[in-house]
Each structure stands twice: as C-alpha cells, then as structure tokens.
Chains A and B, each alone.
Chain A
Amino acid sequence: MKKRMLCLGMAVAMAASLVACSGSSSSSSSETTAAAVEDTTAAAETETEAAETEAAETEAAAEGEGGTLKLGVIGPFTGAAAAYGLGVRNAVDLAVKEVNAAGGANGIMFEVNAQDDEHDAQKSVNAYNTLKDWGAQMIIGSVTSAPCIAVAAETAVDNMFQITPSGSAVECVANDNVFRVCFSDPDQGAAAAKYIGENKLATKVAIIYDSSTEYSTGIREAFIGEAANQGLEIVADEAFTADNATDFTVQLDKAREGGAELVFLPIYYQEASIILNQANARDFAPIFFGVDGMDGILTVENFDTSLAEGVMLLTPFSATEESSKQFTADYVAAYGEDPNQFSADAYDAVYAIKAAVEQAGITPDMSVSDICEAMKVAMTEISIDGLTGAGMTWNAAGEPDKAPKAAKIENGVYVMQ
C-alpha cells in the first residue's frame, strides 16, 4: 500500500512537472487520482496561456511604433564550453542595448532571451523549443557546432531564421535558413595553409590536433588538403584526445624529429598553452601557428605569456586592434573581462540582423516563416563593417565572405600582420 501511495505521489509530481513545462507558474493541488490532476493541469494551462497572450499584447502596445522583435540566443552557459556561450550572451546583450538605445532597426526594438544548452545537441533542441514557446522570431546560435546542426534541423522545419556566431562545422549552414558569422572549419584550415605557403613561413610543418573534437579534425583535414597545393611538407601529424590533453611531450618530440619549422595547432588555447610550456621546457622553438581557437591564450591563468611570444594565429578578431577598441572597452565595463572572438562574432551577428531587418523592411507582426524568407534574401544584399572583418557579405549558402586576418603575439599583445 505504501508503495502504491508513493507511486501516486510520484505520478502527481510527474503531472506537476508537465504543467511547469508548459510555462505555467500555477501548481495544481494534489488530488487523489492522477487523472484528476491531469484535468486541472489542462485547465490551468489554458488560463495561463490566455493570460500570457494578453500580457504580451499590452507589452507590444506599450512599445508603440515599430514594436519588438524577439531574438532567441542558444549557447552553453554552464559546463566545459561555458566561456564561449557566456561570451556570446554578453555580446548579444551589449549589441542589443546599443541598437535599442540608437532607436532600433527601423524603429523596431530587439528583445533577447538566452537559453542554456550545456553544449549538448539534445539540450540545444530543448532550448530552441523553450524559445519557440516564448515566441522567438529569430535564433542566434547555437554557439557550438554539434548543437547547432541539431537546432538547424529544427529551424528548417519551422522555417525560422537562424544565424550562428560560431558554429563552424560545414553542416551547420546546410539549410538555407541558416547563416554564420565565423569561417567554416575547412575554410579556416585552407586559409591557414595558404597563409603559411604564401608568406613562406615554413616548408616543413607538424600538426598537433585534438582527434576528439570535430572542430580540430575538420580544420586539420582541410589544412592537409591545401598544404599539398602550397608545397608544404607534413613531417608529423599527431593526435591527442580530450581525455589525455595534459602531456604533449611525445607529439612534440615527433615534430622535432621530423625537423618541423612550424607547428600547426588547430586546437583551443587551453591545450595550446600546455604545448607551449612543454615545448619551452624541451628547448624546441619552431613557429607555432594557431587558428581562432588560439585566441585567448594570453588570458590563461598561471601561464607565462612570454612563452607565447612569436605565436601566430589566424583570427578574425583581436581585442587590441584599433577597430575593436570601443567594443572591448564597453564589454570590459559591462562584464569585467576581455571579450573573446565568440563575443565579436555574436556582436556582428546582431548588427547583421539589424542591417538585414532594415534592408528587408521586416516588421515584428510578420509570421516567423515570412520573416525568414525576407531575411534569406536580405542577408545576401547587406554588407557590414563588423569587428571580425570589414565589408562582410554573405552568400545564399550562408557562408560569410571576409578576409582572413593573421596576428602575431609581440610583447604580450596581438599585432595584426
């Protein structure tokens, strides 16, 4: 009997959780039968939903003029990838505040709701559905590649406009309703090989990459493909995984044995800082060449930044460059830390949306699908001078067109080459 009552209690909890899922704040009283609870659930829901729509209408009326356009942000705000998601969330907030303060896009104000996806595809879809319930009309995200692919499949069904600041895997923009601000992984890899080849930095190249992330493997593949065209010789091609990213002595020794003049690191800065440390301890001093994931290496705690002297990286953004000084200052004032390239991508994404909204003459009362159709056309017509590139344009496939920039670390700051 006790057991049955417990089950009943659990069933009530389950029903209650469903109520909460539907965005209702009322908690139904625990009736004796689950069926009764479910009935009240349905009733409570209809009521709250009605109340919500009313509230939304009055809100829109109060805004007057252009109304508000609802932007949903999806990214990892907790967990291992939180730094990227938080960078995006902060930058979107900052950009939206600026846009709204300056009178919005054609008088349309932006409203933002950010949802956490913990860098998980399933959670990302849940976050997207939450935003849909909130009434999102456009999506900025997801921040990381795999969740972005999962969300893109959902937005394609709903035909909702989506722009990802930093989802760099090829498949992220496979659907025509998705655009991105960053370079795709293959583009970055190819651009890096081209840059090394054209500037004659080295001919013998070693690669150390993370075989457990699609980011790293994607860049590496494209790099090797382009390296052949540039006359680069790959003397060592060494992998590590997220589970053993603390000791790189074997990989570094292989690179040295091969006589590498340059070590290409298509990885994130945490691992790169360890590699630089261990290379220094072994008196191995080739040129280290990274991509955008290397950005942030100067902010690693307990890392001797003098080791990063001479490191080169292909990055669309640098906090110290002239064009981003204002943004960096505002960002630091608001959030107390330096922005990273994810922030810069997100900031540009908001301004791209603004430009496209103005170009297409979008109004918030249009349906999600109509907005998407208009945005798809408008995105290919706009050109913006953003933090991650001047004169950025997009093609219909959703890929940005901007010049890759290389930076070199000199005296503890990035110097654009």
Chain B
Amino acid sequence: MDAKRIRIQNGITYGMVIAFWVVIQIMDKTGNLSSLLKGLLVPLCMYAILAVSLNLTVGILGELSLGHAGFMCLGAFSGAFFTNCMEAAMPSAGLRFFLALILGAVVAGIFGLLIGIPVLRLKGDYLAIVTLAFGEIIKNLINVMYVGRDAAGFHFSNKDAMSLGMDDTGVVIVKGAQGITGTPRAATFTIGILLLLLTLFIVLNLINSRTGRAIMSIRDNRIAAESIGINITKYKLMAFSISAALAGMAGVLYAHSLSTLQATSNNFGYNKSILILVFVVLGGLGNMRGSIIAAVVLTALPEMLRGLNDYRMLIYAIVLIIMTIFNSSPKAIEMRSVLMDKLRHKKAAGKEAA
C-alpha cells in the first residue's frame, strides 16, 4: 500500500469514530437517545479500545495473548485506587480521572514489560497459555488484597480487613473480593471517544512507522527479520507493552464508569480475554477499523436482543457463529465476491445506459 492509500484508509477509520460521536451527540440533543444506549456508550468505547490494543499484539505482532483482561484489571484497580486515595488532596474528579488514566496505563505498561521479558521467549500456543495464567493470577491476587489508609499511612494485608491494624481514622480502600466501591463515575462518552481516537492514533501511527514495519516483519518471518539485524526482543516487548498500556487505560475507563469494581471472573477472567479476542478475530487480524466495528456490534447485540428474554444468549451465540462463517469461510467469501461482481456489473451497465 502506498502512503496515500494508507492515509485515506486511516482517515476513514478516524472519520467513522468521529461520525459516530457526532451522530450520538445529535441524537442526544434531539432527545432520541434511549437510556439503554446512553448507558452503553462508555462500554462501547472501552471495548473498542481493548479490541484495537489487542489487535496490536495479535494482528500486528502476530502473538496470541489471552491475558488482555489481566492488564485491563491492573489498570482498573490502580486507576480506581488512585482516584479514591486522592479524594482529599484533589477535589476535582475530572483531574483525578485524568491522572488515573495515565497511572493505569503506566502500571499496565510496566507489567506488560515485566511479563513480556520472560514470556515473549515463547511462541504461539505456549505464549497463549502463559498469558492466560497471568490474567488469572492478577485476578486472584487482587481478590486477596486488602489495602487501607489511616493517619499513619498505608496498610497492606493479604488476609482480611481486620488484620490491617488501622486506627479509628482508617479507611479500607481495597477490600479483597469486595473490591473498590465508591469510585466517582467520571467517565463520559466524549472522554471515551477521545481515548479511542488516542488509541487509534498511537496504534495506526506505530503500524505505519519504521518500528511498525519492523514489528510486522517479525510476524511475517522471524528468521528473515533477525538476519537483517532487527532487534526482535526490543520490538516484541515494545508492541506488547504498548498493547498492555492501552488495555490498562481502557480498564481505568471501566473503573470510572461504574461505582463498584470487583475482580470477578465475569469482569476480568479469561472469558473476558477471549471475548476481546473474538472482537479482534471477527474484525480481522491487523484491521483496526474492523476491530472497532466488531466490538461495537458484539457489545450492543446482547443488549438489543433483550426483547427475546431467555433466548437472547442462544440467539447471540447463533449470530456469532453466522458472523464468523460469513466473515471467514472460503465459500462465503466466494459467494460475497460473486455478489459484489454482479452488483458492480449492474452499476456499470446502469451508467452506460445513462
């Protein structure tokens, strides 16, 4: 692809996100926005960010990671912890949220780097298994973590809130399985969209840079890449930790969209990691725009199927299967291209006639 086409493609991606924001704003102003959709906006942004960031690891770097929810969990908890700790020092919830976003991304990024050093020596299935285990470890560690603060400073325990040994002024911030409650809900749709644009900006620019080409060369042929002097470890770690940092940022967004945050298998378990992977695979490996669309459609789908009551999860699964077949089965692709050709033919014929 030449530079011009890349610019057009990226422009379409940015344009799509901005158009989505504009349409929602218009719907909101004219009162056409349902409460359900309003409540879904921040999660939609969050899942889109997660899908794009995981696509960097899976689609661009070419490594299968199943620990994405673990990074998101790290970001969510460090961000929420910061916001709750700094309540007295910084009364502005917006400022705290902004700093929490940075902190969450940094913490997740550092962990991505630390995990990456040993883990990226593995390939394929082995990497997937280790990252899966990492995600579970994070979740379980947070479930036994108790952190409180009183006049004397921070107290930490991995047993229970009582063994923190705090004085009367003590407040327990992280309560093990009960997690963190009372985080101000500072996340708004506009912030979510801005973060999504930032994520796209980082990822798309990375892909189209010298670094990005080096990363993709590792994916395409590791030995060839090594032979021309590309530092494999460096580029792998870079892509992996950027991906982790962006997931951490999405986690902070999640933590600030709900007043309760718990490390349950529902929120941050491997099911969540796999869900994000589904967005990436359905949207197309390496295709950021596809990831966003898949994340939005698949997040909104179970909610719009609410009318079907108990059958909705069944229908959701069926739709997922159909979408996968439609997207990637060779026969379906063939059928689609035949249809496209016919359509194009008709259009051309119509033009000629006119």
Name the distance in Å between A124's Cβ and chain B's nearest Cβ: 9
A216 to B27 CA separation, bound complex (whole angstroms): 44
Bound together, the chains give a CA A242 to CA B264 distance in angstroms of 10
A376 at the interface (CB under 8 A from B): no
* B209 at interface, CB cutoff 8 A: no
B303 touching A21, Cβ below 8 Å = yes
User: Does A243 sit within 8 A of B, measured CB to CB?
Assistant: yes
Known A21-B37, A126-B40, A133-B34: A171·B177 in contact at CB below 8 Å? no
8 A Cβ contacts from A354-407 to B: none
Q: Which of A3, A21, A152 contacts B40 (CB 8 A)?
A: A21
B168 at the interface (CB under 8 A from A): no
Residues of B within 8 Å of A280, CB to CB, are none
B304's partner among A2, A7, A17 (CB-CB below 8 A) is A17
Q: A7-B293, A129-B38, A214-B262 are in contact. Are A18 and B300 (CB under 8 A)?
A: yes
- Contacting B at CB under 8 A, from A1-57, are 1-3, 5-7, 10-11, 13-14, 17-18, 20-23, 34-35, 38, 42, 45-46, 49
* Contact between B260 and A121, CB atoms less than 8 A apart: yes
Cβ contacts B45-86/A at 8 Å (1 or 0 each): 000000000000000000000000000000000000000000
Q: Does chain A have a CB within 8 A of B219?
A: no
Q: Are B296 and A21 in contact (CB under 8 A)?
A: no
Query: Which of these, A13, A125, A149, contacts B181 with CB under 8 Å?
Result: A149
**Roughly how many angstroms separate A212 CA and B177 CA in the complex, as a whole number?**
5
> Bound state CA distance, A119 and B8, in angstroms?
43
The listed residue (A1, A115, A152) touching B306 by CB distance below 8 A is: A115
B177 with A42: CB separation less than 8 A: no
Cβ of B289 within 8 Å of any chain A Cβ, yes or no, is: yes
A150 touches B340 (CB 8 A): no
Kindly state the separation between the CA atoms of A205 and B35 in the bound complex, as whole angstroms: 50
| Tally of contact residues, A, Cβ under 8 A | 62
Nearest neighbor of B38 in chain A, beta-carbon distance: A129
Q: In this assembly, does B93 line the interface, its C-beta being within 8 Å of a C-beta of chain A?
A: no
Q: Which residue of A lies closest to B313 (CB)?
A: A78
* B260 surroundings in chain A (CB, below 8 A): 121, 146, 149-150, 153, 171
Nearest B residue to A5 by beta-carbon distance? B340
Cβ contact within 8 Å between A77 and B262? no
Q: Is residue A221 within 8 Å, beta carbon to beta carbon, of the partner chain?
A: yes
**B336 interfacial by beta-carbon distance below 8 Å:** yes
- The reply to whether A130 and B303 form a contact with Cβ atoms under 8 Å apart is yes
Q: Which residue of A lies closest to B266 (CB)?
A: A120
Return chain B residues, CB-CB under 8 Å to A23: 34, 36
Residue contact B37 to A130, C-beta cutoff 8 Å: no
A133 to B43, CA, bound (A): 18
Contact present for A17 and B297 (CB under 8 Å)? yes
Point out the residues of chain A lying under 8 angstroms from B287, CB to CB.
3
**Most chain A C-beta atoms within 10 Å of own C-beta, residue among B40, B265, B303, B313:** B303
Chain A nearest CB: distance from B160 CB in Å? Answer: 6
Contacts of A150 on B, CB cut-off 8 Å? 258-260
Interface of A is mostly: helix
The closest CB in chain B to the CB of A154 belongs to B39
Counting chain A CB atoms within 10 Å of each CB, the highest count among B144, B300, B340 belongs to B300
Instruction: Please determine whether B177 and A133 come into contact, CB atoms closer than 8 angstroms.
Output: no
Given A120-B267, A211-B143: A225 and B36 interface contact (C-beta under 8 Å): no
List, in ascending order, chain A residues with CB within 8 A of B143's CB.
Answer: 211-212, 241
Known: A129-B39, A221-B160. A38 touches B181 (CB 8 A): no
Inter-subunit contact B303/A213 (CB<8 Å): no
Q: Does B161 contact A121, Cβ atoms closer than 8 Å? A: no
CB pair B289 A7 closer than 8 Å: yes
A122-B258, A242-B265 are known contacts. Are A17 and B177 too (CB-CB below 8 A)?
no
CB distance from B81 to the nearest CB of A (A): 17
A217 at the B interface (CB under 8 A): yes
Q: A261 at interface (Cβ–Cβ under 8 A)?
A: no
A132 within 8 A of B: yes
In the complex, what residues of B have CB within 8 A of residue A220's CB? 160
The digit string for A117-158, where 1 denotes a CB below 8 A from any CB of B, is 011111001111110110000000000001001101110000
State A380–B262 Cα separation when bound (angstroms).
Answer: 32
Say yes or no for A224: interface residue by CB 8 A criterion: yes
Closest to A216 in B: B177
The residue among B16, B181, B265, B290 with the most chain A CB atoms within 10 A of its own CB is B181
State how many angstroms separate the Cβ of B173 from the closest Cβ of chain A: 13
User: Is A165 interfacial (CB 8 A cutoff)?
Assistant: no
Q: Which residues of B contact A1 (CB under 8 A)?
A: 340
Counting CB contacts under 8 A, is B140 at the interface?
yes
Known: A120-B266, A212-B143. Is A10-B30 also a contact (CB below 8 A)?
A: no
Question: Can you list 8 A-B contacts with CB-CB less than 8 angstroms, sorted by A residue number?
Answer: A10-B290, A38-B23, A122-B254, A126-B40, A132-B35, A146-B262, A149-B260, A153-B185
Residues of chain B whose beta carbon lies under 8 Å from any beta carbon of chain A? 12, 16, 19, 23, 26-27, 30, 32-40, 43, 140, 143-144, 160-162, 175-179, 181-182, 185, 254, 257-260, 262, 264-267, 287, 289-290, 293-294, 296-297, 300-301, 303-304, 306, 309-310, 312-313, 327, 336-337, 340
Q: Which 10 A-B pairs have the closest CB atoms?
A: A153-B259, A214-B178, A20-B304, A129-B39, A129-B35, A132-B35, A149-B260, A10-B293, A129-B36, A22-B34
Add 11 more A-B contacts to A42-B27, A122-B267 (CB < 8 A).
A2-B337, A10-B293, A17-B300, A21-B303, A127-B306, A129-B34, A146-B179, A169-B178, A171-B260, A212-B140, A213-B177
Identify the A interface with B (CB < 8 A). Answer: 1-3, 5-7, 10-11, 13-14, 17-18, 20-23, 34-35, 38, 42, 45-46, 49, 77-78, 115-116, 118-122, 125-130, 132-133, 146, 149-150, 152-154, 169, 171, 211-214, 216-218, 220-221, 224-225, 241-243
